[in-house]
Amino acid sequence: MSRLLFLLLTGPLLMVALPSLAAPGDTADTDAWQLLQEGVGAFERGELAQARRLLEQARESGLESSALYYNLGVLYYRVGDYRRSRQAFRQLLGTEHEDLAGYNLGLVALAEGDEKMARVWFGQVFDTAGQEKLRRLAGRQLQILNQTQSPAPAYWLGLVALSGGYESNLALRPDSAASDLSDGFTDVLLAGRGPVLPLGATGGSSAEAVQLSASVFRRHYHTERDFITDAAQLGVSWVSRGVAERYEIGVEQRFFREGGDSRELHTALVLKYQQDSCADDYLGGRCQLALEASYVRPFDGFEPYEGMRYEAVASYHHRWARWQAAGSLGLEFNRREDLAGDGQFASLSPRRQELGLELSYLGWAAWILGGGLGYRYSDYPDPYQITSDIGWESGRRVDHRYSVELTAEYFLTQSWSVVAAASHHSNDSSLHQYDYDNEVYRLGIDYLF
């Protein structure tokens, strides 16, 4: 049996021979294998349309082989169908041809203009490939990227997300007393951001623009209408983008409504800084710092919530091989009016520290599987005096909230995906009224454009 030729896509085409595959075991396998060989022959003759027809027929005939997926990836790359090329090469992750597939995934990312993802794939091959030739090629690609870096392009991003689910132990806010009520819900999220006024380049190493961002969200509970939640956000900011850095200074206006009643307006000053490759030039470590100061202006009936809110969040994202991890640390400080009357008092000015950890696996075909752990410590400095279901409670409120979440996302196309998530939250409070457990299950579809 003649061996199949695989094309490694890097400038001039380099021919690489992979080991011959075992002979087919039945007539159907023989027919599919013959289609594969004919498809490779058509490709070598430059008959790309014929090669595509034959290789896709081999796949539809049920053939599952590294040779088929690799040649499909090469073919799709040559005809400019980068989405299908990426999907084909990803089928080789976790096989003996993973390094070769990773290198080609880097080339696909370059063809799509995603230099950051290309750096991730080339860095993985450079660090882990067993073949010296692949290591040299990946190192050369990284050198080229370092020499030709330019500011990241500014572009519009949009998201439409529709989902449905079930939530136990509803509450108007995560910090309020739970209700022991459960209900199904429907979520709608629309969000987008992008430049509205490019300000040009500065010194050839950075670009500036005025950016607009907006989002609207609604969670509609099917029977417990008092818990329906609406939120909207509109922001404008100055953004400066360099080769590996990003600065943002902006103002945001946020609106919140609960149970049909307008609740709060937040006017926030936001400062953000991002550094790519802050810990590793090859594996794509990214550091972010966000600072925010917001003035909370409540509507009628919520006057005690008026005041200031300050928040700082530092995060780090790291990707290696088929894994992605993120960690964040947040600090929050509030100065609100507090709730007092009828001999009772409740502080509305918590001081908080929050830690979050996430881990995702990206190497299983079109799936991304992930999970997260969270912990939040809340300290309310002024002693409470309240009544609850166990009678009178008084004293300082201190909360420990623990969270765990599992997610699964399946990409139907590059833009469409199906998302499933399950989460559990447990709040352990020094005051009985604020002890609660809460579960949320959600299934939805996202469209990114």
Judge if 84 and 139 occupy the same domain: yes
The model's confidence at residue 172, banded by pLDDT at 50, 70 and 90, is: low
Q: Is residue 211 part of a domain?
A: yes
Query: Is residue 368 located within the same domain as residue 441?
Result: yes
pLDDT the model gives residue 199: 80
Average pLDDT for residues 395-410, to the nearest whole number?
A: 95
Backbone φ and ψ of 348, nearest 5°: -115, 20
Single out the residue in 113, 147, 181 at which a domain terminates.
147
Contacts 24+ apart (CB under 8 A), 14-19: 16/100, 18/66, 18/67, 18/70, 18/97
For the cut 60, the answer to whether the pLDDT of residue 7 exceeds it is no
Q: Indicate whether 299 belongs to any domain.
A: yes
Q: How confident is the model over 71-116, as pLDDT tens digits?
A: 898 889 888 888 898 898 888 887 888 888 888 998 898 888 787 7
Within this chain, do residues 385 and 303 fall inside the same structural domain, yes or no?
Answer: yes
The CATH number for 338's domain is 2.40.160.60
Burial class (CB in 10 A: 0-12, 13-18, 19+), 203: exposed
Has residue 204 been placed in a domain? yes
- Whether residues 136 and 187 share a domain: the answer is no
Beta bridge partners of 143: none
pLDDT tens digits along 249-306: 999 999 999 988 999 999 999 999 988 767 654 445 789 999 999 999 999 988 989 9
Structure tokens at 385: 């005096």
Which of 119, 147, 175 is the last residue before a domain boundary? 147
Tell me: do 122 and 205 sit in the same domain.
Answer: no
Q: How many distinct structural domains can be found in the chain?
A: 2
Q: Which of 94, 119, 147 is the last residue of a domain?
A: 147
Who wins on pLDDT, 31 or 14?
31
CATH code: domain of residue 54: 1.25.40.10
pLDDT tens by residue, 349-368: 999 999 999 999 876 767 88
In a domain, 133, yes or no: yes
Q: For position 1, what pLDDT does the model report? A: 28
- The first and second tokens of residue 211, run together, are 């950016």
Could you tell me if residue 174 is inside a domain? yes
My answer on whether 73 and 27 are in the same domain is yes
Alpha helices by DSSP H, 220-274: none
pLDDT of res. 146 = 65
- CA Rg value for the chain: 27
Does 72 share its domain with 139? yes
What confidence score (pLDDT) does residue 192 get? 93
Q: For residue 159, what pLDDT is reported?
A: 92
Reported in sequence order, the residue ranges of 203-322 that DSSP labels E, i.e. its strands, are 206-221, 229-242, 245-258, 261-276, 286-298, 307-320
Judge whether 78 lies within some domain. yes
pLDDT category at 219 given cuts 50, 70, 90 is: very high
Find the domain containing 114 and state its range: 5-147
Q: Taking the chain, what is the end-to-end CA distance rounded to the nearest angstrom?
A: 46
pLDDT at 42: 86
Q: Given pLDDT bands bounded at 50, 70 and 90, which one contains residue 23? A: very low
Looking at the structure, do residues 184 and 143 belong to the same domain, yes or no?
A: no
| pLDDT tens digits, one per residue of 142-157 | 777 765 555 555 578 8
Amino acid residing at 144: I
**Are 223 and 349 contained in the same domain?**
yes
Query: Are 385 and 442 within one domain?
Result: yes
140 lies in the same domain as 167: no
Does residue 217 carry a pLDDT above 60?
yes
If you average pLDDT over every residue of the chain, what do you get? 83
pLDDT at residue number 264: 95
Asked if 444 and 161 touch (Cβ cutoff 8 Å), the reply is yes
Is the pLDDT at 187 greater than 50? The verdict is yes
**According to the model, what pLDDT value does residue 363 have?**
66
pLDDT for res 24: 45
Is 75 domain-assigned?
A: yes
Residue 152 lies in a domain: no
Q: Is there a single domain that holds both residue 161 and residue 141?
A: no
pLDDT digits (tens, 9 = 90+) for 226-245: 999 999 999 999 998 876 78
Mean pLDDT score, 42-69:
86
